[in-house]
Amino acid sequence: MPVVEHSSLPAFQRLHSEGVAVGQAESGLPDLRIGLLNLMPDAALAATDRQFVRLVSGFEDQANLYVHPFTLAAWSRGDEAQDYVAENYLTFSEVKDHSLDALIITGANPAHFELSDEPFWPGLTEVIDWGEESVLSTLCSCLATHAVLEHKGLLKRSKLDSKRWGVYEHARLDADHPLLDGVDSSVEAPHSHWFDMTRTDLEGVGVNVLLESNEAGVHMATSEDGFRYVFFQGHPEYDDISLLKEYKREVGRYLAGEREFPVFPDHYFDDEAREVLSRFKELVVGGESPEFPEHEVTRRRKPAWVTQGQAIYSNWLAEVLRRARS
């Protein structure tokens, strides 16, 4: 069934124009309500909404699926982002009144080594505690995974020597888990993170690892019961150009004197794109100011990770619906 277009959220209109199933509620069907806590920075709010609504749009069961985005009120944002939130988001108080069935918490751009030093930490932990008592399942993306496990006193993340980013293949470690029903034996997904929790770390505190890469580590895991928490370190929600945009931002940081010139994301650019970007780097390092060749290197295929991510999310939503009806 389509995601219900119940507000003016730009993600609904954008996805509808792309042919994604977004429409009106159908009478006689049960409602399934999912909260989406968006922790991403101002510039990424709308794109993140669209990415996660796209993932849940693969749900094929008989239900009216509502997605209710919200963010943290105490977190300072710019004027434009505040207007976007005011127009399109619920407040946390309103979310509490909507009888949510499940919750998705996005990742965030970390600014501090310690999670507890992040400005969103108090508000995030309040949502985690509320979700523990109020929804059937919480699905966590990247930093949210680390936050839940740290807040529950189970595990703290470790900082990697270098940023792990690229597109990686992951093997299924639990072929019979219902969240992987119908999912390929090898699952492609992007990663982009400086902090990590390893399979050994996670299994040591009772977490069930479902998908792991020899190169990138854990992509997906669950709490010991297999459903209460669903954890991701990879990013099945990413657009095909998300890593390209991130690479461009890293080049901008180099130009601002904040870092060295970035290395390519693993297994992402093809040979032609690498050649174009290598020529661009030579010019930049040589003191010239060429325009970033974004249109020359943009990939133009639907990434496999979106379809695979939709299958996993659909399995998750089907179990949420089953438990909500029982």
The per-residue pLDDT for range 200-213, each reduced to its tens digit, is: 999 999 999 999 99
What are the pLDDT digits (tens) for 234-292?
999 999 999 999 999 999 999 999 999 999 999 999 999 999 999 999 999 999 999 99
- Residues belonging to the active site: 142, 235, 237
| Domain extents in the chain | 3-239+303-325, 242-297
Per-residue pLDDT for 23 more than 70?
Answer: yes
- CATH code: domain 3-239+303-325 is 3.40.50.880
Kindly state the DSSP code that residue 90 receives in the 8-state scheme.
B
Find all residues with CB under 8 Å of 1, minimum gap 6, and list them. 21, 26, 29, 59, 60, 61, 62, 63, 64, 65
**Residue 189 in contact with residue 235, Cβ under 8 Å?**
yes
Backbone angles phi, psi at 227, to 5 degrees: -150, -35
Q: What angle do CA 259, 262, 263 make, to 5 degrees?
A: 145
